[in-house]
């Protein structure tokens, strides 16, 4: 018999498969999702006491289907639902299909007609198996607010008549891009939380890695999915060294590299090596290659900054954007000096997308400090500290200003 943590892991693994099966059979995403949640609660109680059944997914499909039928039968005023309930007689259904609808479910949750916050919430709820309370805590909003967000997303799916099916072949690359973007946003929010008292949320980074690993299993031929997983692994490998014992942020150059997760680094590098050159190179593969250069340097001084700069130059051609330019400025400063980096940073001052981004001022402060302009550096550190809602980042930036 499995232990309770193992049961929890199993439920999280099969939940999207069960939901996918129900939505494929019956449509009505919102009703199916509610029924699956009830079945998961029943399984958590019963399996802990009686043991895990031989076919856990089939057990969950059966129980969730019964909950669904009970809900429809309770609405006696709606004759067509009574008729649907009769058609759904469980005696004729037998065991659950072995078809895995998780990929279809991911595409549905990340439908481009939904807002990004809705995509994030619905993916974590329906595919990740997180509760509404867990998602609300992750994004620092009241549970009631998150419940409304999820409810509106499900209503949007119902009202728009979104079909539970894989998008047409011509639409799949763009839809897959949205799915990967949502998973990357989940990871980034976990790796550096946008607000609150802690720098990182390991539960979110772990869940993003799990879902991306699952996505790669479903479509192993997609090089960018492999690149995204490699990027997450190579970045998350540094998690234990990013803060000291008092919770203070430790910049990359000062981190204890013996605390980095060597197994994650090895897996990320192996994924990247297996993928590069065998598929069109995209932004996730390039970012993963940059992360690998950092991770493979045994000391900060041994980091191959010319190679990192070359990779950023390619990345800016493949996927241009202000954040890429800002990161390239750091590499430029390492290779050509802080004044060259500052000149590139200055090109972003009029970019509206960076208007409220504290990282622009933080990078400027760092480069000004390296260039010896102490007074200007202190002012930029102060400004960056006031702009961030992350308490660890604010403390770090304010301390840098105070030391100057």
Q: Within a domain: residue 254? A: no
Spatial distance between the Cα atoms of 30 and 150, rounded to a whole number of angstroms: 10
Spatial distance between the Cα atoms of 250 and 238, rounded to a whole number of angstroms: 11
- Is 383:361 a contact under the CB 8 Å cutoff? yes
Of 76, 92, 108, the residue that ends a domain is 92
Q: Within a domain: residue 299? A: no
Structure tokens at 35: 């029924």
How far CA 169 is from CA of 88, 107, 177, 334, in Å, comes to 32, 13, 14, 44
Helix (H, G, I), strand (E, B) or coil at 196: strand
Spatial distance between the Cα atoms of 17 and 286, rounded to a whole number of angstroms: 32
Instruction: Check which CATH number belongs to the domain holding 327 and give it.
Output: 1.25.40
Range of the domain at 335: 318-404
Backbone CA torsion sign across 125, 127, 129, 134 = negative
DSSP per-residue codes, 342-394? HHHHHTTTT-GGGTT-HHHHHHHHHHHHHHT-HHHHHHHHHHHHHH-EEHHHH
Instruction: Report how many domains make up the chain.
Output: 2
Spatial distance between the Cα atoms of 389 and 329, rounded to a whole number of angstroms: 24
Q: Provide the residue-wise pLDDT of the chain in tens; the chain has 404 residues.
A: 344 667 877 888 888 888 888 787 776 787 888 888 888 888 888 888 778 888 888 888 888 888 777 776 665 444 444 444 433 443 334 444 456 688 888 888 888 888 888 888 888 888 877 778 878 876 768 889 999 998 888 888 888 778 778 888 888 888 898 899 889 988 998 898 887 788 888 888 998 998 899 899 888 989 999 999 999 999 999 999 999 988 889 999 999 999 999 999 999 999 999 998 887 899 999 999 999 999 999 999 999 999 999 999 999 999 999 999 999 999 999 999 999 999 999 999 999 988 888 999 999 999 999 999 999 999 999 999 999 988 999 999 999 999 99
Of 54, 74, 92, the residue that ends a domain is 92
Q: Within a domain: residue 139? A: no
Helix (H, G, I), strand (E, B) or coil at 118: helix
Q: Within a domain: residue 40? A: yes
Say what the pLDDT of residue 3 is.
45
Q: Within a domain: residue 22? A: yes
CB-count exposure of residue 3 (10 Å: 0-12, 13-18, 19+): exposed
Residue 341 backbone phi and psi in degrees, to 5: -65, -40
Q: Within a domain: residue 285? A: no
Torsion of CA 281, 284, 285, 291, to 10 degrees: 150
Q: Within a domain: residue 137? A: no
- Is 309:335 a contact under the CB 8 Å cutoff? yes
Of 77, 92, 107, the residue that ends a domain is 92
Q: Within a domain: residue 161? A: no
Spatial distance between the Cα atoms of 7 and 296, rounded to a whole number of angstroms: 37
């Amino acid at each position: 018999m499995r232990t309770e943590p193992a049961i929890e892991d199993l439920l999280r693994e099969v939940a999207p498969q069960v939901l996918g099966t129900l939505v494929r059979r019956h449509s009505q995403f919102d009703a199916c999702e509610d029924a699956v949640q009830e079945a998961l609660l029943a399984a958590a109680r019963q399996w802990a006491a009686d043991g895990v059944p031989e076919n856990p997914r089939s057990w969950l499909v059966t129980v969730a289907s019964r909950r669904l039928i009970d809900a429809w039968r309770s609405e006696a005023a709606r004759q067509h639902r009574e008729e649907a309930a009769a058609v759904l007689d469980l005696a004729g259904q037998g065991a659950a299909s072995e078809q895995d609808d998780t990929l279809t479910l991911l595409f549905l949750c990340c439908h481009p007609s939904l807002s990004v916050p809705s995509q994030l919430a619905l993916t974590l709820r329906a595919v990740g198996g997180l509760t509404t309370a867990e998602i609300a805590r992750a994004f620092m909003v009241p549970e009631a607010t998150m419940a409304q967000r999820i409810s509106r997303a499900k209503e949007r799916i119902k009202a728009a008549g979104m079909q539970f099916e894989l998008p047409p072949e011509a639409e799949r690359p763009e839809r897959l891009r949205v799915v990967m973007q949502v998973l990357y946003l989940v990871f980034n929010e976990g790796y550096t939380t946008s607000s609150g008292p802690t720098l990182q949320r390991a539960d979110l980074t772990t869940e993003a890695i799990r879902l991306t690993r699952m996505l790669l299993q479903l479509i192993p031929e997609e090089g960018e999915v492999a690149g995204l997983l490699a990027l997450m692994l190579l970045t998350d490998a540094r998690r234990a060294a990013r803060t000291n014992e008092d919770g203070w942020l430790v910049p990359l150059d000062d981190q204890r590299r013996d605390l980095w997760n060597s197994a994650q680094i090895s897996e990320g590098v192996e994924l990247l090596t297996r993928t590069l050159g065998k598929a069109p190179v995209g932004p996730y593969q390039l970012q993963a290659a940059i992360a690998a250069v950092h991770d493979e340097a045994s000391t900060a001084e041994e980091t191959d900054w010319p190679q990192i700069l070359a990779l950023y130059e390619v990345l800016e051609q493949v996927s241009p954007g202000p954040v890429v330019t800002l990161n390239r400025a750091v590499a430029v400063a390492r290779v050509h000096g802080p004044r060259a980096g500052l000149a590139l940073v200055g090109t972003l001052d009029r970019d509206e997308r960076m208007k409220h981004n504290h990282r622009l001022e933080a990078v400027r402060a760092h480069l000004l400090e390296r260039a010896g302009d102490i007074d200007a550096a202190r002012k930029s550190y102060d400004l960056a500290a006031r702009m961030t809602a992350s308490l660890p980042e604010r403390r770090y930036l304010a301390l840098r200003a105070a030391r100057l």
